Amino acid sequence: MRVLVVEDELLLADAIAEWLREETHAVDLAHDGEAALERIAVNDYDVVVLDRDLPRVHGDDVCRELVASERDARVLMLTAAAQLDDRVTGLSLGADDYLSKPFAFPELAARVLALGRRSRPAVPPVLRRAGITLDPARREVFRNGRFVPLAKKEFAVLTELMRANGNVVSAEQLLEKAWDEHADPFTGAVRLTILKLRRKLADPPVVETVPGVGYRIS
């Protein structure tokens, strides 16, 4: 998934991003509300992890603008305020979930994954197609009962292809969801990842190239 982490505490922001990247998500960072709104305007995020107390533009206002924009991104609001009134206020602004600081990173990752499933048309928690079983929560893939060890980008790309349920996914869409904003669209990273994925999934071939359009699992 593509995640935006908006947090003005630099060390905490880096720690959250590192943890989520270990979970195979593509993560962008913003350290104030103004930068967050700039990124939201140009990127399609599945989840925005949003600190409430931000400089320049307050997190409440970022949340309001995101909701008003009618984008599909889900909002996980972070705050040091743990009182019931604060949680109610955050949710009433349009946040989808609320997590008080300090928090455990595994819990944050689990909440991000749950919100990501809600940011798109509903899909099963475990994805199955063409003999492939993919469990996003456990980060496990099996092909005809055989465990398939995948690198992070390979897992992220396969997840997008499985979510598409047989529909074609363009290279641009894969780049958007599996890589962050620093990815160079001309590196051939998607093509190389697809080649590695095909090799690891083994025969019979399952990832089909649709010339000039993209890829799908037939």
pLDDT digits (tens, 9 = 90+) for 120-129: 655 567 899 9
Average pLDDT over residues 88-115: 87
Q: Give residue-wise pLDDT tens across range 176-214.
A: 888 877 766 667 889 999 999 999 999 999 999 999 899
Exposure pattern of 183-197 as b/e (b: 16+ CB <10 Å)?
eeeeeebbeebbeeb
Amino acid letter for position 125: P
- CA angle, corner 105, sides to 161 and 17, nearest 5? 60
Average pLDDT over residues 52-70: 91
Check if the beta carbon of residue 168 is closer than 8 Å to that of residue 177.
no
> CA–CA separation, 8 vs 54, rounded Å?
6
> CA–CA separation, 78 vs 68, rounded Å?
20
